[in-house]
Amino acid sequence: TLGGKQTDFSELKATITSILEDNKIRSPRRLATVFRSLKALNEKFSHAVPPEMPSTLPDDFFTCCTKCLSCGAKCTLTAKHQQENIPHQCPEQCLYNKELDNEILKCLQCHRNGHDTVVHGKLTAANDTLVQGIIKYMWSGFVIECPKHGEIYRSRQFWYGNNEPKDKTHTEITHVWPGDSNSRRTSDVTPRKVVELLRSAGSCLVAPKKMLTEMVADQIAPTYWASNKDVHECSSCKLQFGLEYSKHHCRVCGYIFCDTCTTHRAVVPLLETTTPERVCDQCFRKLQSHTLSLIFQTNDANSQRTNSLDSEISDNDSTINPTSYSIPMSRRFLELVKNNVAPVVYDYPIEVIKEHTRPSYWRPDSECHHCFICKHSFNNTTHRLHHCRKCGEGVCDKCSPNKRIVPERDWMTPERVCKSCDQMIDD
């Protein structure tokens, strides 16, 4: 006291408080962190400083520099907190971004009870079958379910006077951090279930369709092509075709291969065309090295096949019947329709439907170039692209052999999961 008056430290206290709460440059440090930092500096400079010395300051002395993609606010945690599996945090209120869609819904009853349960709109309820759920959706609209309180909202529950989703849910705007997965936002998988149901129903027609297609193809095939009905495995990798894999003819040798063994396209001089045609790997190497030999020897009018694919016949000992390598006009017309009309009429709509029914947590097909686990490149035969129903990553057949129930993703029946997620479920 001075002159009998008590000293007023309120202004000093307010200044110190404002400085300590200022997190724009750094996050507040605990006293133990400040002590360790001063101790490390004292030990570092108590002797001669070498030319190069790594930093001895603890990691929690520095602030995480990651910023929210929506509002630009910085994370208030210490550096390298993600190594301890601690997510980014920021107490500031975030701003809504339509592109990032960072608005989430929480069950209102759970929120009032002190629990945060994230909910979302779906076409069908969890306890309904696919057909039953679609019928309910057509009559009563979409549904919002809570794991604890069940069905909490229907968009067309009554003829008139229906509530809004905000009347039954609590809306929050969340921060979006770089590299943050969208696993926190659940996606409705009902459209994908419908596509897979139609695909499984259409699989009953695969056998007669393939038999009819091969029969027509044999009728209009060139004479030196192998017959589809006589070949059941790839001539190179010995892959069994069955009903799952397609057969392809090499335009040079005429043997049947799988799609993986006929990825090359080359101009075949014997066909007298400048358009690149499908060839197998062995014939492609011969065409590239300019050592392509004759594969067939015309012993009769029907151009019987020779005994070996690798036999090379010199020009002086063989004669070529030009008609044996001619492609019938009917076959050319079929390939013209298949290569130009089919991608527009069939393939393009299928790709559009697959993309629009893809759950949001699935990685897009355009970004899946190799298996997420084994890193093997995808193809149309032995390493086809599949999506894990739990993590949404693109994996191959060998890395996703098991099927499990994934209730947190609304897959109530056993579905394909990768080895990593399968092990995680067991643990």
- What domains can be seen in the chain, in order of their start residue? 19-84 (no CATH), 103-186 (no CATH), 221-327 (3.30.40.10), 361-426 (3.30.40.10)
The pLDDT of residue 367 is 87
Length of the chain: 427
Per the CB < 8 A criterion, the answer to whether 123 and 134 are in contact is yes
The two tokens of residue 193 are: 């279930």
How sure is the predictor about 302, in pLDDT bands with cuts at 50, 70 and 90?
very low
Whole-angstrom distance, CA of residue 124 vs CA of residue 131: 9
The pLDDT of residue 417 is 92
- With 0-12 / 13-18 / 19 or more C-beta atoms within 10 angstroms meaning exposed / middle / buried, residue 412 is middle
pTM over 0.85: no
Q: DSSP 3-state assignment of 104?
A: strand
Q: 14-57, pLDDT tens digit by residue?
A: 887 887 777 666 666 777 877 888 888 777 777 665 555 555 55
240-246, long-range: CB within 8 Å, 24+ apart, which pairs? Answer: 243/206, 243/207, 243/210, 245/380, 245/381, 246/380
How sure is the predictor about 315, in pLDDT bands with cuts at 50, 70 and 90?
very low
Q: 56-105, pLDDT tens digit by residue?
A: 555 555 778 888 888 888 888 877 777 777 888 888 888 888 877 788 88
Whole-angstrom distance, CA of residue 148 vs CA of residue 107: 9
Q: 190-229, pLDDT tens digit by residue?
A: 777 777 777 776 666 667 777 887 888 878 778 888 888 8
